[in-house]
Amino acid sequence: MTNRRLLLLSSSSVEGAGYLDYYESEIKDFLGAEVKRILFVPFASVVRSFDEYAMMVSHRFQAVGYEVDSVHTASNMNEAVRSAEAILVGGGNTFHLLRALYETGLIENVRERVLDGTPYIGWSAGSNVACPTIKTTNDMPIVEPSSLDALNLVPFQINPHYIDAHPAGHQGETREQRINEFIAVNKGVYVVGLREGSTLRVEGSKIHLRGEREARIFISGEEPREYSPEDKLEFLL
């Protein structure tokens, strides 16, 4: 996996900022000047149509100098993946996204291209599917994919939109309790609680936490720990 380049965002928006505004400079720095066109995967969208979702993303990226093609409009989706300069996977429902990746046959081609060096940007569900499985998503399983196995572009799990809060009167499990359930039965697998405004940038065998907030990292047999952008995270890889 030495050629992989991934930018994994917790979310598309941060309180007080517009759509993808908070991440604009990070995205431009990651893609660089050599990328001109991006292939967008809209399959996480459920209520909004794929056309509407693709138009919204296209307008946002055009504003910073990138053209966007949506894979759902391609006459040959797999050929579109094979010729993509960069791949962008949006948020929404992770189960809906993964089922579509399997049904269209794109999952293996996306994985192959990214491991070969094609830049990959994902947020929320798009970050979830970069992991070995989608077992640490926050989403309701509104559809059933053929497998919970995902793209496996990184060897750890992500829990996007991670929050520490336990609202007053709430009798359900906290996010931390849910992750502790996962690591109890998936020993040896790291889970990164990625807070809003945070990004993981992977370049080959290097990984960096970007943004202003710490990430909370879990693994069985140890207390969860907080890591700042200054900390080394290569143990995740």
Residues annotated as part of the active site: 124, 139, 161
Go through 117-155 and write b for each residue having 16 or more CB atoms within 10 A of its CB, e for each that does not: ebbbbbbbbbbbbbbbbbbbbebeeeeebeeebbbebbe
Q: Specify whether the backbone of 12 is left (phi greater than 0), alpha (psi in -120 to 50) or beta.
A: alpha
Q: Return the C-alpha torsion angle 106, 109, 113, 116, nearest 10.
A: 150
Dihedral of alpha carbons 163, 164, 165, 171, sign: positive
